[in-house]
Amino acid sequence: MALNRVYLRKRIQSVNFCVRTHNIGNAMERTDIDKLKDRIWITERCHMKAEKRKRFLEYYFHITLALYALASIAILLFQNAPATAGFGNIMTFTSICTLSISLLIFGFKFGESAAQHRSCYLDLQRLRIDNTNCAAELNQKYVNKLGYYPNHSTSDYMSIAVSNIFTGSQHLKDPNGISIEFSLFTRLSYSMYLLSSRILIVIFLLSPIILVFIAIEA
């Protein structure tokens, strides 16, 4: 009887050890899945930013193209003085800009690219609520889905990750729960990119109006 009790006690301890080991294994697997879903969430937000950027560029270049076309018409209608060399140069520049923007819109296909980014982040949203319990299987699905869509740019990721350009540590955390940090050089480069891109956007948008006034005065 004593031997049976000893054997039974060891058996119970062995079963309890197996149960604890199984629970720890499940906890680690859930943690891996949570990390992967955080990674999917970041990628999803980057593609949202990419779609927004592509839509903006599509509308921006359409508006700019229309302004250059209107500028060409306005220059021809309101030019009172005889044509000069400067006037001809302005008309040539305006025509070249109109043609270049048309080719740019057609070549880069901003609308089509924006639609692809939208499809990508919608697929990633569905994947993130997937009930798959295996991290390896979920990761394979994640990689397969990304293979069907274009990649987002570094600026899209930076617009998500950078919450304060004056500090290295950001609010966004990586899948391990650690705050993302950027060096001073990276933050300065991103700031210069933002500033220069916005200045160019404003200048390029206002240039047709400026050309009209210059041509009329020429």
What pLDDT is stored for residue 22 in this prediction? 39
pLDDT for position 25 = 42
Record the pTM.
0.77
Distances (CA, A) of 207 to 13, 44, 61, 189: 81, 36, 13, 27
Residue 28's pLDDT is what? 42
pLDDT digits (tens, 9 = 90+) for 56-65: 999 999 999 9
Q: Which residues of the chain fall below pLDDT 50?
A: 1-4, 6-8, 10-30
156 near 50, Cβ under 8 Å? yes
Rounded Cα distance between 163 and 170, Å, is: 6
Backbone φ and ψ of 170, nearest 5°: -110, 170
